[in-house]
């Protein structure tokens, strides 16, 4: 949370961090750039919006349970359910119920879904490399964005780990483990959106 002076914020674990004016301005510029760049990426393809792209990419990255997609993307289950329903209706995802658990669903990309994802990623990759080429060091920017992706993965993993014991849930699945069964480890791929 930013304080009234504009330079302090509460970081992980409630630690108070202070930025000098230059650092704060750079952080604000980064936030604005990421927000603007996300819109440019979304406009690079007319086949998927970013929310649907994120769901398809998570499923392609190995997150086959809808609950795991929700946890990985830090989205509420209703948002993921809505995206899954829309993508299933479009023929891009298969949704198969899990025997014995009416809430669980195994997701997989259809051939059409793999095609849409590949075309969308090709278009977005072209757009991000074009943007990066307009900076003083394109390779370093792309590397830094990869670091940011890894940091986001760590934040979400820490959040799932911290929330799971309070809710009696498995951190990997975002729901309570079956009685007599150990929680499954989080095997989701690092570096996925």
Among residues 187, 121, 148, the alpha carbon closest in space to that of 33 is found at: 148
The predicted-structure confidence for 139-190, as pLDDT tens digits, reads as follows 999 999 999 989 988 887 887 787 766 555 555 444 444 444 344 444 344 4
Q: Pick 15 or 131 by higher pLDDT.
A: 131
The predicted structure's pLDDT at residue 88: 95
d(C-alpha 56, C-alpha 74), whole Å:
15
* Cut 0.95: pTM above it: no
Beta bridge partners of 125: none
**Domain coordinates of the chain in residue numbers?**
22-134
d(C-alpha 90, C-alpha 120), whole Å:
15
The predicted structure's pLDDT at residue 76: 79
The predicted-structure confidence for 3-35, as pLDDT tens digits, reads as follows 445 555 555 555 556 888 999 999 999 999 999
At residue 91 the predicted structure's pLDDT band, cuts being 50, 70 and 90, is very high
Q: Once rounded to an integer, what is the mean pLDDT over residues 114-130?
A: 96
Above 80 in pLDDT, residue 49? yes
CB-hemisphere CA count at 13 Å for 147?
6
CATH 1.10.10.10 fits 22-134, yes or no: yes
- Letter string b/e over residues 9-44, b meaning 16 or more CB atoms within 10 A of that residue's CB: eeeeeeeeeebeeeebeeeeeeeeeeeeeeeebbeb
The predicted structure's pLDDT at residue 52: 93
Token representation of residue 15: 């630690």
| Under 8 Å between Cβ of 104 and 66 | yes
d(C-alpha 139, C-alpha 144), whole Å:
9
CA dist 71 → 9, 14, 23, 92, 168 (Å):
25, 22, 31, 21, 15
The predicted structure's pLDDT at residue 183: 42
Q: Once rounded to an integer, what is the mean pLDDT over residues 62-70?
A: 80
The predicted structure's pLDDT at residue 34: 94
Burial of 140 from C-beta contacts in 10 A (0-12 / 13-18 / 19+): exposed
The predicted structure's pLDDT at residue 143: 96
């Amino acid at each position: 949370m930013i304080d009234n002076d504009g330079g302090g914020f509460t970081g992980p674990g409630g630690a108070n961090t202070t930025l000098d004016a230059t650092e704060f301005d750079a952080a604000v510029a980064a936030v604005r750039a990421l927000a603007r760049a996300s819109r440019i990426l979304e406009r690079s393809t007319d086949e998927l919006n970013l929310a649907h792209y994120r769901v398809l990419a998570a499923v392609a990255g190995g997150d086959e349970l809808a609950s795991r997609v929700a946890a990985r993307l830090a989205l509420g289950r209703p948002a993921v359910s809505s995206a899954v329903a829309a993508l299933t209706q479009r023929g891009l995802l298969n949704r198969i119920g899990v025997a014995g658990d009416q809430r669980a669903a195994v997701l997989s990309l259809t051939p059409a879904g793999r095609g849409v994802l590949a075309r969308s990623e090709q278009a977005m990759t072209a757009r991000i490399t074009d943007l990066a080429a307009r900076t003083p060091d394109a390779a370093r920017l792309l590397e830094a964005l990869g670091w940011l992706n890894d940091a986001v993965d760590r934040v979400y993993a820490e959040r799932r780990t911290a929330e799971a014991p309070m809710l009696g849930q498995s951190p990997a699945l975002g729901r309570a483990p079956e009685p007599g069964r150990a929680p499954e480890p989080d095997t989701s791929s690092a570096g996925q959106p």
